Structure 1
Amino acid sequence: MSAGDFNAQPLPDWRRAVLKVGSSLLAGDVGAGNASGLDPRHAVALAHFIEQSRARQREVVLVSSGAVAAGRHRVGAGGDGLVLRQALASLGQASLVTFWQQLVDRPVAQVLLTHDDLRNRRRYLNARATLRELLRLGALPVINENDAVAVDELKLGDNDNLAAAVASLVDADLLLIATDIGGLYSAHPRDPSARPVERVEKITPELLEAASGGAGMLGTGGMRTKLEAAAKAGAAGIATALFCGREADVVRALEHDRLHGTLVAAQGDRLRARKQWLRHAPASGRLQVDAGAFAALHRQGASLLPGGVVSVEGDFRRGDAVEIVTGTESAVFARGLAQYSASEIRRIARHHSNEIEGLLGFRYGESVVHRDDLVLLDAAPAHTETMP
């Protein structure tokens, strides 16, 4: 079975994607003079796809395995114990970043995450703000598990599921998973009766069970973990494309928005799923804003800036959900995630955004609540209807 079994189909429209590349595509026979322990033969086409995407004003975030393989090459260590793998990941991370830097014509940034970083709201916001800024600067973020300290995450399928979490973190439109086979089949690819599955509308328990199988010798996850990742991305409204990263023609087709592989459909609208979560997240405090801020948020889809904050209620932390109100009736018209703590917002309220660093000694960004982290509620204060 090969990628040629899959007919071409259109990719969903996307402006930002997360591309996951497994170690089975990067490790192997290394040519003379390559000291990284990583083989570029498959990565070259993937790097070209990343660069072509940038030329089309698209953004790609890369989740790359391979640090353990690179570290093992550096010290020639055998064995596969947890502590050894953590040490090898630490040794190989610099080589992995250098490897990708040699393949793309832009700055490459290393970002190490654990699942805890994505569960904790403050660290989640910190990670997202960093990645958003890296993309604004035109850099290529290369993300990996922080394997040197993440004991629980060094397990089957870690980077597949990390990629799905990152896709949600950066508000991606598409998750791309490069595999060493063409995509999903109806049976084991070596089974003569196996047929390519080009589209999956929904990941079911039965499908996950059927996709269970052993991982590749160098990889950390089989098809089941990739489908688990696709299910998580789909629940966040993000489609997933599985394709063979060993086939240069398949990768080149992606540059023309053509997929030879398996497309797992998104379950609903991406932004709607996030907004729905924000609607029901428990609020830890309340921000009262003036008429100008209300108009900017309610009519222009803007972020909430500190100059529009009139008062702060509660003792919340950065990353907590807050209610946003206006007027003497304190009617809630929006909810969002605070970019600063309650005490910090009290200090910067009614000030211009360019004064934040002078007042606090640091700056997370210009907004108190970013528009990506804000949802407008259906009911708006009646008395604000006449506001300009």
Structure 2
Amino acid sequence: MNQVNWQRIVIKVGSALISPERNGCSSHYLLPIASFIVRCRQRGIQVVLVSSGSVAAGAHLFNDKTTSISVKKAMAAAGQTEMVATWDRLFDFSSAQILLTHADLSERERFISVSETLETLLNQGILPIVNENDTVTTDSVKVGDNDNLSAMVATASHADALIICSDIEGLYNANPHENSDAKLITEVDAITAEIYQMAGGATSNVGTGGMKTKIQAAEKAVSHGVTTYIVNGFNQSSFDQLLRGENPGTKFLPYQTPLHEDTHWVRHTTKILGEIVVNNEFSLASEQSVNVVSTGDVIDVVGDFSPGDIVLLRTSSGNKIAKARTNYSSCLLSVVAKQNDNVNSQPLVQSSKSILSDKFSAKMEVS
């Protein structure tokens, strides 16, 4: 009997599980995870696998062990095929490779395309295996870690649960490798600044994500209504417990009222490409509302952006108001800012369409 009520899950597996010695892929730690995926599918639960490990898997093929970007990209290209082949050998059903950059998720049309592809694969009984496309990513289009990527994939696939495999049981109130009195936090109902303070750095010398990125991923997922777990991926018992409906690590409870789809995408998936600076008196009428930004409100424009890009709306004193999609380019808005003393603060657009999109992200802190 199915003791969990998941219909669709995303499981994230890190480099330390894929290639613990950076000497090619090892199935040692992957067998229990593959078994978990098989058992989920036998219970009618659809699974998306987000798998790191291409760089670690390809490292042994190169004499040059430097950490240069070009060498890492080449390692990723060579290791990706080995990694997917290793997973494929563990299953008796078809899998599909999906390589993504942040640009594929932060552009709305491409995000929807990714979502549709995942939906089609899952409905055909094919296991999607997702990884960041390290071979082509640059600083401007990379997610940077697969913890956050897994949360974006969980959002795009409309998953019920996200399971992030770690090398420890979950979130502790102190570093368990340094403090024997550290206590496991079994359940988190709200991700606060205190929760982030508990997150330390990476404990593995193979992967790029530490506990902080896992908390970031959990915040993205739970705000979309996705229950999130951080579990010890090295322990087979973690997966047995999950299938029994038990919590083997740290469970992050989802929002009772998830963010609106567009609001969530703007807040948690897009990148800020510029800033629109308004006067200190400007404020949103509500956290999600139609606003007309008048020409008199615009004081300055920072960065180079185009219509449709995501920008930060902030006051001249530095108060961050919201992320939003601009309807105008930075060039045009710069002209508006320079001329605002001569236009008597009239709205640039006399309708519900304003300089900014009619859908704002909720008020938030932007790092």
Q: How many angstroms does 1:151 deviate by?
A: 1.4
Q: Where does residue 187 of structure 1 map in the other structure?
A: 174
Q: Against the structure 1 CA distance between its residues 12 and 242, is the aligned structure 2 distance closer, same or farther, given a 3 Å change threshold? A: farther
- The answer (yes or no) to whether the contact 2:223–2:264 under 8 Å persists in 1 is no
> Of 58, 61, 66, which residue of structure 2 is paired with 1:71?
58
Q: For each residue in 1:326-357, what CA deviation from the matched residue of structure 2 results, as whole angstroms up to 9, or x when unmatched? A: xxxxxxxxxxxxxxxxxxxxxxxxxxxxxxxx
Q: Against the structure 1 CA distance between its residues 277 and 110, is the aligned structure 2 distance closer, same or farther, given a 3 Å change threshold? A: closer
**2:6 alignment partner AA:** W
Q: How many angstroms does 1:209 deviate by?
A: 2.6
Q: How many angstroms does 1:40 deviate by?
A: 1.0
Q: Where does residue 59 of structure 1 map in the other structure?
A: 46
- The answer (yes or no) to whether the contact 2:103–2:141 under 8 Å persists in 1 is no
Q: How many angstroms does 1:281 deviate by?
A: 10
> Of 218, 233, 236, which residue of structure 2 is paired with 1:230?
218
- The answer (yes or no) to whether the contact 2:17–2:233 under 8 Å persists in 1 is yes
Q: Secondary structure at the match of 1:61?
A: strand
**1:251 alignment partner AA:** F
- The answer (yes or no) to whether the contact 1:110–1:141 under 8 Å persists in 2 is yes
The answer to whether structure 1 residue 210 and structure 2 residue 195 are counterparts is no
Q: Where does residue 245 of structure 2 map in the other structure?
A: 257
Q: For each residue in 1:168-190, what CA deviation from the matched residue of structure 2 results, as whole angstroms up to 9, or x when unmatched? A: 00000111001111111111103
Q: Against the structure 1 CA distance between its residues 275 and 113, is the aligned structure 2 distance closer, same or farther, given a 3 Å change threshold? A: closer
The answer to whether structure 1 residue 152 and structure 2 residue 139 are counterparts is yes
Q: For each residue in 1:170-218, what CA deviation from the matched residue of structure 2 results, as whole angstroms up to 9, or x when unmatched? A: 0001110011111111111030220111001111123213313245210
- The answer (yes or no) to whether the contact 2:164–2:229 under 8 Å persists in 1 is yes
Count of residue correspondences: 266
- The answer (yes or no) to whether the contact 1:23–1:69 under 8 Å persists in 2 is yes
Q: How many angstroms does 1:12 deviate by?
A: 6.6
Q: How many angstroms does 1:76 deviate by?
A: 4.4
Q: How many angstroms does 1:157 deviate by?
A: 5.6
The answer to whether structure 1 residue 118 and structure 2 residue 105 are counterparts is yes
**2:85 alignment partner AA:** T
- The answer (yes or no) to whether the contact 1:157–1:222 under 8 Å persists in 2 is no
**Residues of 1 paired with 2:257 and 2:244: CA distance?**
24
Q: Secondary structure at the match of 1:197?
A: coil
Q: Where does residue 187 of structure 2 map in the other structure?
A: 199
The answer to whether structure 1 residue 27 and structure 2 residue 19 are counterparts is yes
Q: Name which of structure 1's ranges 146-155 and 222-231 shifts more when overlaid on structure 2.
A: 146-155
Q: For each residue in 1:286-305, what CA deviation from the matched residue of structure 2 results, as whole angstroms up to 9, or x when unmatched? A: xxxxxxxxxxxxxxxxxxxx
The answer to whether structure 1 residue 16 and structure 2 residue 3 are counterparts is no
Q: Structure 2, unaligned stretches of length 5 or more?
A: 266-287, 291-367
Q: Against the structure 1 CA distance between its residues 268 and 162, is the aligned structure 2 distance closer, same or farther, given a 3 Å change threshold? A: same
Q: How many angstroms does 1:79 deviate by?
A: 1.7
The answer to whether structure 1 residue 244 and structure 2 residue 244 are counterparts is no
> Of 164, 168, 173, which residue of structure 1 is paired with 2:151?
164
Q: How many angstroms does 1:275 deviate by?
A: 7.8
Q: Secondary structure at the match of 1:259?
A: coil
- The answer (yes or no) to whether the contact 1:145–1:153 under 8 Å persists in 2 is no
Hey, which of these two has a bigger chunk of helix by percent?
1
**Residues of 1 paired with 2:289 and 2:122: CA distance?**
28
**2:14 alignment partner AA:** G
Q: Name which of structure 1's ranges 75-84 and 123-132 shifts more when overlaid on structure 2.
A: 75-84
Q: How many angstroms does 1:28 deviate by?
A: 2.3
Q: Secondary structure at the match of 2:215?
A: helix
- The answer (yes or no) to whether the contact 1:147–1:154 under 8 Å persists in 2 is no
Q: Where does residue 298 of structure 1 map in the other structure?
A: none
Q: Secondary structure at the match of 2:98?
A: strand
- The answer (yes or no) to whether the contact 2:172–2:198 under 8 Å persists in 1 is no
Q: How many angstroms does 1:21 deviate by?
A: 0.3
**Residues of 1 paired with 2:198 and 2:119: CA distance?**
37
Give TM-score scaled by structure 2 length.
0.68
**Residues of 1 paired with 2:132 and 2:213: CA distance?**
16
Q: How many angstroms does 1:277 deviate by?
A: 6.5
**Residues of 2 paired with 1:216 and 1:95: CA distance?**
21
**Residues of 2 paired with 1:95 and 1:28: CA distance?**
14
Q: Against the structure 1 CA distance between its residues 156 and 122, is the aligned structure 2 distance closer, same or farther, given a 3 Å change threshold? A: closer
- The answer (yes or no) to whether the contact 1:11–1:259 under 8 Å persists in 2 is no
Q: Percent identity?
A: 38
Q: Where does residue 178 of structure 1 map in the other structure?
A: 165
Map 1:98-137; keep pairs closer than 5 Å: 98-137=85-124
- The answer (yes or no) to whether the contact 1:237–1:273 under 8 Å persists in 2 is no
Q: Where does residue 266 of structure 1 map in the other structure?
A: 254
